[in-house]
């Protein structure tokens, strides 16, 4: 693991909320890293035409997403390509795992978009005991063994190829309708659409990680991560912005919340100095 990098603010999510937060943090002179999935994974990218965001008449979602990406690339924030797997509270800072790497920051802003909290039966129970969210991190533990991978993203297909190089067999289920993970002390069976598959490990590769799995102690309600008006979550030092805090799912709301979360994170850092 790479323990070298420590930032003032680490932002998880490179959509409009995360980019807005990054721009404001940089304006305030903070060191910033943004953990970003592909631009295509953002909600905005799928919008045919944007008609209600000030200053962008007649823009497609793709055009606006690409314009925001250019702004992010030139604002002086570090971009960490990949998926944040966990946020750990280290007392005076946070540690964020992205694949095999580990980054530290004084404050964290979650800008995850709409997060799907639904876990497969057995998923939470067996994480770390035969269920993994990261093939490159844990694949070698299953060298020569039979594994299964659930996921249909580009990353999932790359991980299948990687696992095929080291495992005896890889069963790939891109979009299973129903799944359950079973086992004893460790996961040993994946049930897909009622059919049992004996495996030594199950890799689950989704674009986002359920909030409950990403960071311990974060309060959630039916619509999203619970925040106050400063975008502070129930964990001091972690802020949230955009669709992940709930409705309305709108660009202007997401950008505004990103801005507030950034200002609050800067204030939080200032008070600790």
Contacting residues for 232 by C-beta, under 8 A, at least 6 apart: 238, 239, 264, 268
Closest CA to 79 of 100, 106, 98: 98
Which residue in 6, 27, 28, 50 binds ligand FAD (CB under 6 A)?
50
Residue 8 found at the interface with ligand FAD (CB under 6 A): no
Residue 153 found at the interface with ligand FAD (CB under 6 A): no
Whose Cβ is closer to ligand FAD: residue 35's or residue 266's?
35
Residue 44 found at the interface with ligand FAD (CB under 6 A): yes
Bin 76: left if φ > 0, else alpha if -120 < ψ < 50, else beta: left
CA distance 208 to 78: 20
Which residue in 9, 11, 32, 41 binds ligand FAD (CB under 6 A)?
41
Whose Cβ is closer to ligand FAD: residue 37's or residue 106's?
37
Residue 193 found at the interface with ligand FAD (CB under 6 A): no
Residue 179 found at the interface with ligand FAD (CB under 6 A): no
Residue 24 found at the interface with ligand FAD (CB under 6 A): no
Which residues from 246-265 bind ligand FAD, rule CB under 6 A?
A: 249-252, 254
- How many alpha carbons lie under 13 Å from residue 53 in its C-beta half-sphere? 21
Which residue in 242, 263, 265, 269 binds ligand FAD (CB under 6 A)?
242
Q: Which stretch binds ligand FAD (CB under 6 A): 71-79, 105-113, 116-124, 146-154?
A: 105-113
Whose Cβ is closer to ligand FAD: residue 199's or residue 209's?
209
Pair 204, 121: CB distance under 8 Å: no
Residue 210 found at the interface with ligand FAD (CB under 6 A): no
CA distance 87 to 214: 6
Tokens at 86, concatenated: 């966990």
Through-space distance between the first and last CA atoms of the chain, rounded to whole angstroms:
28
* Closest CB 27 distance from ligand FAD, rounded Å: 18
Judged by CB under 6 A, how many residues of this single chain contact ligand FAD? 35
**Rounded alpha-carbon distances, angstroms, from residue 57 to 32, 52, 62, 65, 99:** 30, 8, 13, 14, 38
* DSSP structure string for 131-182: EES-HHHHGGGGTTSEEEEE--SHHHHHHHHHHHHHSSEEEEESS-SSEEEE
Read off φ and ψ for residue 134, nearest 5 degrees.
-145, 105
Which residues from 63-82 bind ligand FAD, rule CB under 6 A?
A: none
Which residue in 14, 99, 130, 237 binds ligand FAD (CB under 6 A)?
14
Residues binding ligand FAD (CB under 6 A): 12-18, 35-37, 41-44, 46-47, 50-53, 83-84, 111-113, 207-209, 242-243, 249-252, 254
């Amino acid at each position: 693991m790479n323990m070298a990098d420590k930032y003032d603010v680490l932002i998880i999510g490179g959509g409009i909320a995360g980019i807005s937060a990054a721009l404001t943090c940089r304006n305030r002179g903070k060191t910033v890293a943004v953990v970003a999935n592909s631009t295509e994974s953002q909600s905005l990218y799928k919008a045919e035409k944007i008609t209600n965001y000030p200053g962008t008449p007649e823009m497609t979602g793709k055009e606006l997403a690409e314009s925001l990406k250019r702004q992010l690339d030139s604002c002086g924030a570090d971009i960490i390509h990949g998926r944040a797997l966990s946020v750990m509270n280290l007392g005076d800072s946070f540690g964020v795992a992205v694949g095999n790497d580990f980054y530290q920051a004084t404050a964290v802003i979650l800008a995850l978009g709409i997060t799907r909290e639904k876990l497969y039966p057995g998923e939470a129970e067996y994480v770390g005991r035969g269920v993994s969210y990261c093939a490159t991190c844990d694949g070698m533990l299953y060298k020569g063994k039979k594994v299964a991978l659930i996921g249909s993203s580009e990353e999932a297909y790359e991980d299948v190829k990687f696992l095929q190089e080291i495992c005896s067999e890889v069963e790939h289920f891109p979009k299973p309708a129903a799944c359950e993970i079973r086992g004893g002390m460790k996961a040993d069976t994946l049930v897909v659409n009622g059919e049992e598959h004996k495996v030594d490990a199950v890799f689950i590769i989704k674009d986002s990680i359920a909030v409950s799995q990403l960071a311990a102690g974060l309060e959630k309600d039916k619509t999203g991560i619970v925040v106050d008006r400063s975008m502070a979550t129930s964990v001091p030092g972690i802020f949230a912005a955009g669709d992940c805090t709930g409705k309305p799912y709108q660009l202007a709301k997401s950008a505004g919340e990103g801005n507030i979360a950034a200002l609050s994170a800067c204030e939080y850092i200032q008070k600790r100095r």
